[in-house]
Amino acid sequence: MHSPRFAFCLSTLVVVGILVPTSALLAQSIHLHVDLTDAPRNIYHAKLSIPAKPGANTLVFPKWIPGNHRPSGPIAALTGIHMEAAGKPLVWRRDDVDMYAFHVDVPEGASSIDVSLDAITSNDSAGAGGPAASSNLLDLNWNAVVLYPQGAASDAVEFIASVKLPPGWRFGTALAAAHPADDEVEFAPVSLTTLVDSPLIAGKHFRRIELTTATDAPAHEMDLVADNEADLEMKPEDLAAYNKLVAETGALFGARHYRQYHFLYTLSDQVGGHGLEHHESNDSAAAERTLLDPDLHLLYADLLPHEFAHSWNGKYRRPAGLATPNYQEPMIGDLLWVYEGLTDYLGRLLAERSGLMSAEQYREALAATAASLDHRSGRTWRPLEDTARSVQTLRLLGPQWSNWRRSLDYYNEGELIWIEVDSIIREQTHGQRSLDDFCRRFHGGQSGPPKVVPYTFDDLVRALNEVAAYDWATLLRDRVGATSTHAPLGGIERDGWKLVYNDQPNAFARAAEKLWKFADFAYSLGFSVAKDATLIDVMVGSPAYQSGLGPNMKLIAVNGRKWTPAVLHAAIKAAQGTTAPIDLLVENAQFFQTYSISYHEGDRNPHLERVSGHSDVLSVLLTPLTR
């Protein structure tokens, strides 16, 4: 899963003693047909034939969705449920407590339950909340259209799936197509695990790009869909960068845990803003002009590298609490600062090493991350680990007071922690080793088809100690388990750089402000404000906070003049070095009030600056591993 900035293990199978024996389920496959021809109005129609024995049966709808790390299975979107056996309707009943379970009695003589159901997809875009389809393209996450026997391990349930596409649409997926025929496609039998792990995108405007890889590596391809044909135009330098990305991951990890890999890439302003990782593909969606617009290109530069890195960190190596045997078992997110945090670190690093962003852009993005976390007032009450453990409650919330509540900080604070870990490894080994060596040891191993190797905190510490001896347990427990007043910036400083603020815009933040239509005064007055003048968030402890301002209030005027970003910047500049307050006229739910802010330090935008006399280790870190 990509941060909104802007297969299973033996041990788990043993713990969960209620699982239906594998042999009992593999005898017969579940047949699933999904009619996607209504995708433009965001409803998918599915038919399932589920082998069943006479008597009481319970079917379940996937609840805990991998990559979402939370009970986000779109149960409210499941509609039109009809069940029958041997041609006769069955009466189903939802469980009183578990909204994802359906009880049904199968009569003597019947051997399967035939189910028809619809998935409303206007609010189901791989966990991001937007629609899954537009007039021109669709994203099919199979978990939205399946039921399976309660208690079954997803590895043990076999599906034979097929789809009917809107006429003329083409598709991409990591699933092997057994019988493609015009708009009907049947796929080779797979486990439920593989099915849910293999989404399908399709569209009227489609492009397949084979990426070049070493002869001994599996095939990699990009499958792109867009609302406009012109948005599929990939520049030669981007194609070269994505080819290099594949090479860089090979050099970094030393092994690949997939049979072939698909970058499923949607370019749309209607369906978008998500990135969901899988073993053999990633389902990512960016704004429609991302390949064409330099600002969008910068903001989304690490999207595909992030989701690709998850094939190793997250899918292959997975925290034990997230390696569950099926989609009804609760997930435990306490190690998401590794699953997502290390991937955030790797995603941006691989984007830079591949040439999707420059070293200067990397430093500007890192400075923006570091500043934002250093101003998270909530870090004084909430340890980072609690943001990971609370993933169930923290996604898709509004921005109001988010600096005090904290958000999904395990993503980007994870990046700072892993930069620090890298810097310590380099220091301890006198530059002989780095976090790259850890990745090769921890995520490499033997190449082959997808598998899951779970790990615990102790496994992680052990693996780090094999790379460089250090008290990793104490360091990491302190970083994730303790409250603090400042972000962990030690890695950046050890690497020869420091976080500074000046009146020059941060390139990454400026792109974000322009595209997402807001103005950021977080490090000066202490708030960000949307284009419609609504205060998005007010930083606790900031000058704006001290004056009484709060989120959702509307900024009307600055020192008596109608508010615009330029007027406010000018007022901040005029107040610099004086004692005169900045007066803001604000509307708070129909009532107007003027707030006087005492602030005289000018615009403050974050950047990284070299520490003189200190070697530039960050540039070493950013050096590609391949030529």
Using the minimum distance from each CB to Zn ion, give the nearer residue, 127 or 131: 127
Give every CB contact of residue 374 below 8 A, 6+ residues apart in sequence.
486, 487, 489, 499
Min. distance of Cβ 212 from Zn ion in angstroms? 26
Using the minimum distance from each CB to Zn ion, give the nearer residue, 266 or 524: 266
Using the minimum distance from each CB to Zn ion, give the nearer residue, 388 or 539: 388
Give every CB contact of residue 138 below 8 A, 6+ residues apart in sequence.
36, 39, 121, 132, 166, 169, 201, 202, 203, 271
Q: Work out the number of other CB atoms within 10 angstroms of the CB of residue 359.
A: 14
Min. distance of Cβ 164 from Zn ion in angstroms? 32
Q: Of 113-121, 334-342, 464-472, 511-519, which part binds Zn ion (CB under 5 A)?
A: 334-342
Min. distance of Cβ 70 from Zn ion in angstroms? 13
The strand pairing partners of 263, in sequence order, are 222, 282
Strands (E), 70-226: 78-85, 88-90, 92-94, 101-106, 112-120, 137-140, 148-149, 158-164, 170-173, 177-181, 184-187, 190-191, 200-203, 205-211, 220-226
Closest CA to 71 of 331, 319, 312: 331
Min. distance of Cβ 347 from Zn ion in angstroms? 8
Min. distance of Cβ 341 from Zn ion in angstroms? 9
Using the minimum distance from each CB to Zn ion, give the nearer residue, 305 or 606: 305
Using the minimum distance from each CB to Zn ion, give the nearer residue, 346 or 571: 346
Counting residues that bind Zn ion (by CB under 5 A) gives 3
Tell me the per-residue interface mask from 545 to 574 with Zn ion, x by CB under 5 A, - otherwise. ------------------------------
Rg (CA), the chain: 26
The strand pairing partners of 498, in sequence order, are 609
Q: Work out the number of other CB atoms within 10 angstroms of the CB of residue 113.
A: 24
Using the minimum distance from each CB to Zn ion, give the nearer residue, 102 or 345: 345
Site for Zn ion in 473-492 (CB under 5 A): none
Residue 1 interacts with Zn ion (CB under 5 A)? yes
Q: Of 1-9, 53-61, 394-402, 616-624, which part binds Zn ion (CB under 5 A)?
A: 1-9
Min. distance of Cβ 624 from Zn ion in angstroms? 22
Q: Report the residue number whose CB is nearest to Zn ion.
A: 1
Using the minimum distance from each CB to Zn ion, give the nearer residue, 198 or 343: 343
Residue 582 interacts with Zn ion (CB under 5 A)? no
Give kind and range of the element (H or E) at residue 55: strand 55-60
Residue 391 interacts with Zn ion (CB under 5 A)? no
Min. distance of Cβ 268 from Zn ion in angstroms? 20
Using the minimum distance from each CB to Zn ion, give the nearer residue, 274 or 607: 274
Using the minimum distance from each CB to Zn ion, give the nearer residue, 62 or 341: 341
How many CA atoms does the CB half-sphere of 425 hold within 13 Å? 22
Give every CB contact of residue 466 below 8 A, 6+ residues apart in sequence.
441
Min. distance of Cβ 284 from Zn ion in angstroms? 10
Give kind and range of the element (H or E) at residue 284: strand 281-286
Using the minimum distance from each CB to Zn ion, give the nearer residue, 262 or 274: 274
Q: Are 313 and 323 in contact (CB under 8 A)?
A: no
Min. distance of Cβ 187 from Zn ion in angstroms? 26
The strand pairing partners of 47, in sequence order, are 33, 116
Using the minimum distance from each CB to Zn ion, give the nearer residue, 290 or 343: 343
Give every CB contact of residue 97 below 8 A, 6+ residues apart in sequence.
none
Tell me the per-residue interface mask from 69 to 108 with Zn ion, x by CB under 5 A, - otherwise. ----------------------------------------
The position carrying tokens 């402000």 is 513
The position carrying tokens 């979402």 is 68
Q: Of 28-36, 50-58, 333-341, 388-396, which part binds Zn ion (CB under 5 A)?
A: 333-341
Min. distance of Cβ 343 from Zn ion in angstroms? 5
Using the minimum distance from each CB to Zn ion, give the nearer residue, 288 or 340: 340
User: Would you state the structure tokens that stand for residue 296, as one six-digit string?
Assistant: 């969008």
Min. distance of Cβ 3 from Zn ion in angstroms? 7
Min. distance of Cβ 340 from Zn ion in angstroms? 5
Q: Are 476 and 417 in contact (CB under 8 A)?
A: yes
Closest CA to 52 of 126, 118, 104, 123: 104
Min. distance of Cβ 375 from Zn ion in angstroms? 23
The position carrying tokens 């900080």 is 409
Tell me the per-residue interface mask from 336 to 375 with Zn ion, x by CB under 5 A, - otherwise. ----x--x--------------------------------
Burial (Cβ within 10 Å: 0-12, 13-18, ≥19) of residue 168: exposed
Using the minimum distance from each CB to Zn ion, give the nearer residue, 340 or 385: 340
Q: Are 252 and 439 in contact (CB under 8 A)?
A: yes
Q: Are 491 and 421 in contact (CB under 8 A)?
A: yes
Residue 247: φ, ψ to 5°: -65, -40
Q: Of 74-82, 335-343, 362-370, 557-565, which part binds Zn ion (CB under 5 A)?
A: 335-343
Interaction site with Zn ion (CB under 5 A): 1, 340, 343
